[in-house]
A and B are shown apart, each in its own frame.
Chain A
């Protein structure tokens, strides 16, 4: 592939997804400059590895895999990022189920309660999740990848993606519960039974 062909391929296949890359980088990084730097690094790596992108494969998933590897490289280099091992999470925390807890007369649907949270509050809560869980939700729910595509990006079986997505959504609800209480979206005395194993 000559230079012009490579450039054309880059602008045809990769360029349309740059906003997705930058958005995801912004979710991961706490400051805008770092996010732009990470997105730029991802796009340039993609350009250099363009010959590995096979015809007919999905460029977005491929690009997000590069973004993930770049992000993990940075974490390793910084080695100061607080990580929670998945092994610590094999037993799920006691199941409180936020967003279903109002009195029947004033009950709101979960969708309505969740819509009361700003994007920033949701993003901040996502950042508090363990790395693997956060990435699963970012790929499957935020970016809309299929579970098969996400499993390739994360290099884990599809079943693992499915269970992490379910667990992540539950953890996110639990992280948002104190905020919901603070804003009187659910009552202070809400104390729901544990989820069955």
Chain B
């Protein structure tokens, strides 16, 4: 095999790697513990301290307790589940958005649940997602575990919401972001961001090009 490996190619490859590495710059980090540790040694400005420190400590304490409870629930409900990789979930989103797999057009979560239930009686129930336009739904499997998927649109941007039984899927080993006592696993594949969490015994994953923080907000609004 002889392939030209010219300067243009080298430059293109170089730029592609640099751009992929730049994507890591947007990985969300949870600075809560770091903030607490540093603030204990470098007290914030006096005005801030008197006004904010007590409530902050109270919030941090309740935050820790809630995080512990959530962790215990997650651990106790995740025996023998499958692991969906970030790449697999990104593929699911791209397949649905691009129409590479058959989907059913729907205009509400109720309609999506009816369609999915008629197709697969044991389909996981999709939750209500306020303020999102429902466009299509389908069933997908990852390692033989069923996921109900619904394509939403928020601010013109497609979002795939995948739901599975909590006993079927486990959360990916990804950086954890805690918000209001709930832990979210946040990952990115290229321009796609995804947020996984567990809620009411269900495993949830939201995938979109929207920022991860926005997806966390959406995940927090999900109601079963």
Report whether A192 and B24 are in contact in the complex, using a CB–CB cutoff of 8 Å. Answer: no
Known: A44-B38, A143-B25. A19 touches B31 (CB 8 A): yes
Q: B86, A95: Cβ atoms under 8 Å? A: no
**A158 on the interface (CB 8 Å rule)?**
no
Q: Please, which residues of chain A bring their CB within 8 A of the CB of B24?
A: 23, 27, 119, 122-123, 142
A117 touches B45 (CB 8 A): no
Chain B residues whose CB sits within 8 angstroms of the CB of A113 once the complex forms: 16
3 nearest A-B pairs in the assembled complex, by CB-CB distance: A115-B190, A110-B16, A141-B21
Docked Cα-Cα span, A113 to B13, in Å, equals 11
Collect the chain B residues with CB atoms within 8 Å of residue A11's CB. Answer: 42, 44-45
A43 to B9, CA, bound (A): 41
A73 within 8 Å of B (CB atoms): no
Main DSSP-derived SS at the A contact region: helix
A116 and B86 alpha carbons, distance in the complex (Å): 9
- Whole-angstrom distance from the CB of B56 to the nearest CB of chain A? 14
The yes or no answer to B179 lying at the interface (CB within 8 A) is no
Chain A residues in 8 Å Cβ range of B189: 115-119
A169 adjacent to B188 (CB under 8 Å):
no
Roughly how many angstroms separate A36 CA and B176 CA in the complex, as a whole number?
A: 13
Q: Is B224 an interface residue (CB 8 A)?
A: no
Interface residues of B in 7-22 (CB under 8 A from A): 9-10, 12-14, 16-22
- Report chain A residues within 8 Å CB of B69: none
Q: Select which of B2, B5, B17, B191 is within 8 A of A169 by beta carbon.
A: B17
Interface residues on A, range: 35 or more
A2-10, A63-71, A148-156: which lies at the interface: A2-10
Distance to closest chain B CB from A110 (angstroms): 4
Q: How far in angstroms is the closest Cβ of chain B from A147?
A: 12
Name the contact of A122 in the complex, choosing from B9, B20, B191 (C-beta under 8 A). Answer: B20
A→B interface (CB under 8 Å): 4, 7-8, 10-11, 18-19, 22-23, 26-27, 36, 39-40, 43-44, 47, 95, 97, 99-101, 109-120, 122-123, 126, 137, 140-144, 165-166, 169-170, 172-173, 183, 190-193, 195-196
Q: Is B174 an interface residue (CB 8 A)?
A: yes
Q: Is the CB of A7 within 8 A of B42?
A: yes
A95 touches B5 (CB 8 A): yes
B44 and A7 form a contact (CB under 8 A):
yes
Q: Which residue of A lies closest to B18 (CB)?
A: A141
Does B58 sit within 8 A of A, measured CB to CB?
A: no
Q: Once the chains are docked, how many angstroms separate the CA of A120 from the CA of B21?
A: 11
B101 within 8 A of A: no
